[in-house]
Chains A and B, each alone.
Chain A
Amino acid sequence: MEDIVGGWWDKLVRRAAYRGHPAAAVELESIAAQAPLFFRAMGGDPALVLRSTVGTEHGARRRLLERLAGTGTKVELAWCDSQAFYLPDKLDLYPDAALNRQLYFWLMALAAAPVPPGDWLNRNRAATAACLAAMPGLALVYQRLVAGLLSMRPDPARLPAAEAAVERAIQAALRQPDIEQILPPITQPPLPVPLWLHPEPPTVDQAGAAAQSEAQNPQGKPPDQRSRRRRYRAQRVAQDERKNGMLLVFRAESLFTWDEYVKVNRHTEEDDDNNGEAAAEDMNRLSIAQDADTKSSKLKFDLDLPAAAYDDSPLGPGLKLPEWNWKQQKLVEDHCIIKPMLPRDAHPAALPDRLQPLARRLRRQFQALAPERVRRSGEASGPDIDIDRVIRFMSERMSGVAIAEPALYQAWPPGERSLACLTLADLSLSTESWVGESGRVIDVIRDSLLLFAEALSASGDAFGLYGFSSIRRQEVRLQVLKDFAERYDDNTRGRIIAIRPGYYTRMGAAIRQSSRILLQQPAARRLLLIISDGKPNDLDHYEGRYGIEDTRQAILEARRDGLLPFCVTVDREAGDYLPHLFGHRGYVVVQQAQTLPQVLTRLYAGFTR
């Protein structure tokens, strides 16, 4: 009974203490589709992706009710760094949902503005002034936002002198952002300003660390969209060198908080519920230490190279390729070594029976597509008479300048299509993850390659099939499934069937090598089709922005050489970074992996039209 009443009381007091307006809450998800475009239009860096922030302790004076309920200690503020722009997961500051929505857009405009010099208060004030000057439409919104906010802020007259001075400066900066303010010395942190950016955003390094842990998530079950967007504050700590963790002989909660880093022995079994996630939500800061063991039992990384006997058969010593270093903005020559290899254990095989019906249908469709006959006038022979030419001939003969042997027929000779297509499939370890009933991503990719190859061989166009994975820059593995010169037969089918997932995704090098191969093909149009399941990443610094920028550079090079790069992905988060890599029309996100074969073939038909 005490528990129940206590629970009621807790709920009641929490609700009474809560400052927001849950009924008018606007979720980040609801504007996620529009946010990147808006951010870019405001002048934000196009390479940044959208993330949600988590609460940080503000340390400001709380109201009595909040102290009673133990709430109101944290605040979620927007900010932006070299990887992403961060917005609160949910906004319910104002009682009007429309105003909360406008607050999102205001924060994005502010985050996209260049950072002016000065202290925290004047930085935000000057950025606000710059936004308002450039965008008169925002002025109206800003007035409403400020009017609402000022009514929620403490009255300086009721505060101690030192705090009152700070509060007056903040309110003056909010009211008149174009007038410079002198920030008085701060004794007690002021109440946060939700209209401004985070005063002390976490640094790049920490964000990068979180990105790495997120990128290497090859577990079967993909985390839901919302938790993937979430970004935690993290700190790097040195790993505790003691061999065994401490043994807790007393009640731990009397001593430690969640987020204090202590090496303890824990069970490594994982349950499916999100206890860990809930705990992370409560933490101010996650501590990340390099450890030999990975916490997730589902991580099955094979970090060392496989023994030669079990590895794929390499073809030659490898080729050196450059890589783009975005921090230095230059191409580092001979940085990567690409190793073409043939899949191990590949035996000639026929097309699996289960794919036969679909393959037959695709072949028929592609045969119809192949000749692409067009009616041509002025043929020496053909099924139809070209009336226009006959009339012209007659009139010319009458005027006395007739040509001796006119070609007066219309015909449909085979179209002169000259197209080469190179398909590059991602075979990194992440393709081992499951996608519902259709199995693993790699199975879908395998089926897609088989069906696509069947269809392409029916169309008569030149095509090559390759797969790639990587282990650092010295070993970018390019699996040769079908060379352009090879025939598509049971040998190549066997190689496709033998593909296995492994290692990482150094996409830039693989694209560069594919471009080189494709450029050697004598064709008027050259299509570079990339099938992937996620972002570029590798064990070294090749993750996050670095990998994306290198890939983008490789794509730009391919495009400059006259190739048509196009990406097909099953990564649902791809909308964040693919426009930056491939441009607006250069990619497609396949919502259901099992439809990949149909999507590929439909795409190809579109390209050849």
Chain B
Amino acid sequence: MNAPAPAAVAAPFYQAQGDECRLFEAAWQQQLPVLIKGPTGCGKTRFVAHMAARLGLPLITVSCHDDLSAADLVGRHLIGDGQTVWCDGPLTRALRQGGICYLDEVVEARKDTTVVLHPLTDDRRMLPIERTGELLEAPPSFMLVVSYNPGYQHVLKTLKPSTRQRFVAMTFDFPAPDVELAVLLQETGIAESQARQLVTLAGQLRRLTGYDLDESVSTRLLVYAAKLMMSGMSPQLACRTALAEPLSDEADTIAALMAVIDTQFPAR
């Protein structure tokens, strides 16, 4: 679990696509929990980091997984020097600091774990800690943000409707081409013509989602490809390493993806 981000540093770069920043800020002011849906690598985590820095709040991120128990979130007693010491979990810590607690990929967590969030997400805004007998009230600046990817294994893993109903929800998607272009230019300093080719390539590859590929090319992978190109790698090799190989393991599919990459970055 991460240490709280120092609030004073400049906000990490985030290219807004619509009203999401204003919405987030309004939700924070009105003390509403937020749910962010969107595909892998479209900028959910970056958005939350950006907003935390912008609002001057500490951010505590928890990456959820199937073994995440309620105690992992809330806290537990530890034994030391012959006595027990209570140790706050990330949720409790965020609560005490009045910061943002961000649960990434919340559907991965066990359903009984997410239930501990319930009293925090309604008008009570409090967290009962059974083991210490404490009843923590959330300060006004505290905010709960959760995210998940609805396209990923959505039949097997979904958020319980009773949990989902407690959040205001925003849907994220891959940025529009001009926004994605701006992201690439800002993040990597790559030449504009090459960035434009990468964005067109992403558009071509995203047409294959659901047919030939399970997942789309994320903006994150595009940034990786651009970074490899900036480090002097040939664009073709960079795209192979950062785009074709991570998307598939099948030789035929990779060969076809390379043919698509050739339409933007041909092998000389």
Residues in chain A within 8 A of chain B (CB atoms)? 33-38, 40-43, 46, 105, 109, 134-138, 140-141, 391-392, 394-396, 398-399, 401, 525, 559, 562-564, 579-580, 583-585
Partner pick for A136 among B79, B84, B204, B264, CB 8 A cutoff:
B264
Interface size on B, residues (CB 8 A): 36
Are A134 and B200 in touch, CB under 8 angstroms?
yes
Knowing A34-B252, A392-B77, A584-B214, say if A105 contacts B208 (CB, 8 Å). Answer: no
Q: Helix, strand, loop or mixed for chain B's interface? A: mixed
Q: Bound complex: CA of A46 vs CA of B209, how far in Å? A: 11
Q: Distance in Å from the Cβ of A342 to the closest Cβ of chain B? A: 32
B266–A401 contact, CB under 8 A? no
B-side residues, CB < 8 A to A, are: 76-79, 83-84, 86, 131-133, 155-156, 197, 200, 204-205, 207-208, 210-214, 252-253, 255-257, 259-266
Q: A136-B264, A579-B211 are in contact. List 6 more A-B contacts (CB 8 A).
A: A34-B259, A35-B256, A37-B211, A38-B256, A38-B259, A399-B84
Q: Are B262 and A105 in contact (CB under 8 A)?
A: yes
Q: Are B211 and A40 in contact (CB under 8 A)?
A: yes
Nearest A residue to B253 by beta-carbon distance?
A37
Q: Which of B133, B205, B266 has the most CB of A within 10 A?
A: B266
Chain A contacts for B84, CB-based, 8 A: 395-396, 398-399
Given A392-B77, A395-B77, A398-B84, A37 and B212 touching (CB < 8 A)?
Answer: yes
Cβ-defined contact, A41 with B208, below 8 A: yes
The answer to whether A135 and B256 touch (CB under 8 A), given A396-B131, A398-B84, is no
Bound complex: CA of A198 vs CA of B132, how far in Å?
A: 79
A401 and B131 contacting across the interface, CB-CB below 8 Å: yes
> How far does the alpha carbon of A34 sit from the alpha carbon of B260 in the complex, in Å?
10
A-B contact list, 7 entries, CB within 8 Å: A35-B256, A37-B260, A42-B204, A42-B263, A46-B211, A141-B266, A401-B131
Select from chain B the residue with minimum beta-carbon distance to A102: B262
Which chain A positions have C-beta within 8 A of B263? 42, 105, 109, 135, 137-138
B50 to chain A, nearest CB (A): 32
CA–CA, A394 to B257, complex, Å?
58
Closest A residue, CB atoms, query B193: A136
Are A584 and B200 in touch, CB under 8 angstroms? no
Given contacts A105-B259, A564-B155, A584-B212, contact A43 B200 (CB under 8 A): no
Given contact pairs A37-B253, A38-B259, A395-B77, A135 touches B200 in the complex (Cβ within 8 A): yes
Which partner residue on chain A sits nearest B196 by CB separation? A136
Which residues of the other chain, A, contact B197 by a CB distance below 8 angstroms?
136-137
User: How far in angstroms is the closest Cβ of chain B from A147?
Assistant: 15
Instruction: Point out the residue from A36, A38, A585 that lies within 8 Å of B214, measured CB to CB.
Output: A585
Least distance between A109 CB and chain B CB atoms (Å): 6
Closest chain A residue to B254 by CB distance? Answer: A34
For A564, list chain B residues within 8 Å (CB). Answer: 155
A503 and B75 CA atoms in complex are apart in Å by: 65
Residues of A near B260 (CB, < 8 A) are: 37-38, 41-42
Specify which chain B residues have a CB less than 8 angstroms from the CB of A391 in the assembled complex.
79
A398 touches B255 (CB 8 A): no
- Interfacial chain B residues near A396, Cβ < 8 Å: 77, 84, 131
Residues of A within 8 A of B200 (CB): 134-135
Whether B262 pairs with A137 at a CB distance below 8 angstroms is yes
Chain A's nearest CB lies how many Å from the CB of B34? 26
Q: How far is the CA of A559 from the CA of B264 in the complex (A)?
A: 35
- Residues in B with CB closer than 8 Å to A135 are 200, 263-264
Nearest A-chain residue to B80, judged by Cβ: A395
Q: Measured between alpha carbons, how far is A394 from B76 in the docked complex, in Å?
A: 13
B57 CB → nearest A CB, Å: 32
- Which residues from chain B contact A43 at a C-beta distance below 8 Å? 204, 207
Q: Are A37 and B257 in contact (CB under 8 A)?
A: yes
In angstroms, Cα B211 to Cα A40, docked, is: 9
Q: List 9 A-B pairs, minimum CB-CB distance, nearest first.
A: A34-B256, A395-B84, A37-B256, A135-B263, A137-B266, A33-B252, A41-B260, A41-B204, A137-B263
B207 touches which of A41, A141, A584 (Cβ 8 Å): A41
Q: Which residues from chain B contact A583 at a C-beta distance below 8 Å?
A: 210-211
A395-B79, A396-B131 known; A137-B212 Cβ under 8 A: no
A105 to B259, CA, bound (A): 8
Inside 8 A of A140's CB, which chain B residues have their CB?
Answer: 266
Complex Cα spacing A579 to B212, Å = 7
Give the distance to chain B from A583, nearest Cβ to Cβ, in Å. Answer: 5
Decide: B133 and A401 in contact? CB cutoff 8 A: yes
Q: How far is the CA of A129 from the CA of B36 in the complex (A)?
A: 41
A575 to chain B, nearest CB (A): 10
Residues of chain A lying within 8 A (CB to CB) of residue B262: 105, 137-138, 141
Chain A residues in 8 Å Cβ range of B256? 33-35, 37-38, 41
- Check B204 against A137 for contact (C-beta < 8 Å): no
* B131 (CB) vs chain A CBs: closest residue: A401
User: What distance in Å separates the Cβ of A363 from its nearest Cβ neighbour in chain B?
Assistant: 27
The distance in angstroms between the C-alpha atoms of A395 and B213, with both chains bound, is 51
Given contacts A34-B259, A46-B211, A137-B266, contact A41 B155 (CB under 8 A): no
Contact partners of B255 in chain A: CB under 8 A: 33-34
Minimum CB–CB distance from A407 to chain B (whole Å) comes to 14
Given A135-B200, A562-B155, A40 and B252 touching (CB < 8 A)? Answer: no
- Distance in Å: Cβ of A349 to nearest Cβ of chain B: 37
Residues in chain A near residue B265, CB distance under 8 A: 137
Q: Which residue of B lies closest to A131 (CB)?
A: B263
CB distance from B42 to the nearest CB of A (A): 20
Which partner residue on chain B sits nearest A134 by CB separation? Answer: B200
Other-chain contact of B213, A42, A137, A580, A584 (Cβ < 8 Å): A584
Interface centre among B197, B259, B264 (most CB of A within 10 A): B259
**A105 CA to B256 CA in the complex, in Å?**
10
Give the CA-CA distance A140 to B205 in the complex, in Å: 21
- Nearest opposing residue in chain A for B235, CB measure: A137
Q: Please give me the residue from chain B that is nearest to A575 by CB atom.
A: B252
Q: Once the chains bind, are B207 and A398 in contact (CB under 8 Å)?
A: no
- Point out the residues of chain A lying under 8 angstroms from B133, CB to CB: 401
